[in-house]
Amino acid sequence: MTAHRRISFDNIQNNLSTTMLGRDLYVLDEVTSTFDACEKIGVCHGTVVCAKRQTDGTGRLGRSWESNEGGIYFSLILEPSRYGFDIQLYTLICALGVQRAISEHTACMIKWPNDIVSPDGRKLCGILTKIKLFDSKAGFINVGIGINANNKSFSDDLKYAGSLCDFLGREVDENRLLCSVLSEIEKVLCLSPDSLVKEFAEVCVTVGSRVKIVPAEGEKYAGNAKGISKDGSLMVEKDDGSLVCVNSGEVSVRGIYGENYV
Ligand code: ATP
């Protein structure tokens, strides 16, 4: 891989066009996870902690995120008191920022609420949002983002993983892509909540799909995803005709890979 395309502190700084995001920057070789790394650093609004590898990258609901060399792994710290968004919209904000940035290279959509996928359903990026409470209010949000930029291979069990470089047939400049993601997230943060939800729904592959909702507890059920509600929930019409709002924290949504639920 060409050295200047690899994540480096100097190259990120040289390409950064944001006002706040990424101006407080840490670039590390290997971490357990960028979440863990943030615990050891005095973070503030806009801090970005980036690593070349994670040995214990985390996904949602206790899952793991494979984080080999070639991917872009970073935590972005946001202070929600600066904006007028519901806390649960921050995952959507960052997903839209990443989707916009990756779309400059290749077609992609958002799998609600937190993954960026290629048109053939390969997962190119995962996003995990953790909230840090202070005095029972959300003090900081730590958004962990893993982008499969130049990853050469994945474990056999990751049958839906895909790498940007495979779609492009060439390597991606990891520094430029990271900077473009930060710049797009900064722009999305300036949208109104209504505009955010509208644009998100337009590029969300889940909307309009047949989905199966798999709650952490309780019965699974199938339905048709109708849209995204103001608070970022997925609106699902169940087969009995009732409409439910599915909260992102509670469920896994399956369906875009063509599984048959009927
Ligand atoms: P699902 O994709 O099963 O609906 P999810 O999107 O909520 O669940 P995440 O927490 O976003 O799950 O991502 C974790 C899952 O993504 C893992 O269980 C694994 O299947 C897959 N995965 C892990 N590492 C990668 C990677 N580098 N690229 C693509 N997919 C990965």
What is the DSSP secondary-structure string of 230-249?
TTSPEEEEETTS-EEEEPTT
Q: What pLDDT was estimated at residue 60?
A: 82
Which of 116-125, 138-147, 216-225, 234-243 bottoms out in mean pLDDT, i.e. has the lowest? Answer: 216-225
Residue with token string 């937190």: 114
Give the model's confidence band at 252: pLDDT under 50 very low, under 70 low, under 90 confident, else very high: confident
The answer, yes or no, to whether any atom of ligand 1 lies below 6 A from the CB of 209, is: no
Q: Work out the percent of the chain whose per-residue pLDDT is above 70.
A: 94
Q: Could you tell which of 52, 58, 61, 63 is best to mutate to test the pocket of ligand 1, judged by most ligand atoms within 8 Å of the CB? A: 63
The answer, yes or no, to whether any atom of ligand 1 lies below 6 A from the CB of 122, is: no
Which pLDDT tens digit goes with each residue over 206-223? 999 999 888 878 888 889
Give the model's confidence band at 254: pLDDT under 50 very low, under 70 low, under 90 confident, else very high: confident
Q: What's the rounded Cα separation, in Å, for the pair 219 and 221? A: 6
How much distance in Å is there from the Cα of 65 to the middle of ligand 1?
A: 6
Q: What is the DSSP string of 27-82?
A: EEEEES-HHHHHHTS---TT-EEEEEEESS-B-GGG-B----TTSEEEEEEE-GGG
**Once rounded to an integer, what is the mean pLDDT over residues 56-60?**
91
The answer, yes or no, to whether any atom of ligand 1 lies below 6 A from the CB of 166, is: no
- HSE-up of 183 (CA within 13 Å, CB side)? 16
The answer, yes or no, to whether any atom of ligand 1 lies below 6 A from the CB of 75, is: no
Q: What pLDDT was estimated at residue 262?
A: 45
Q: What pLDDT was estimated at residue 215?
A: 83
CA distances from 123 to 45, 59, 75, 231 (A): 28, 13, 19, 24
Structure tokens belonging to residue 194 = 């209504």
Which pLDDT tens digit goes with each residue over 68-123? 999 999 999 999 999 999 999 999 999 999 999 999 999 999 999 999 999 989 99
The answer, yes or no, to whether any atom of ligand 1 lies below 6 A from the CB of 252, is: yes
Residue with token string 């492009």: 168
The answer, yes or no, to whether any atom of ligand 1 lies below 6 A from the CB of 129, is: no
Q: What are phi and psi of 9, to 5 degrees?
A: -55, -50
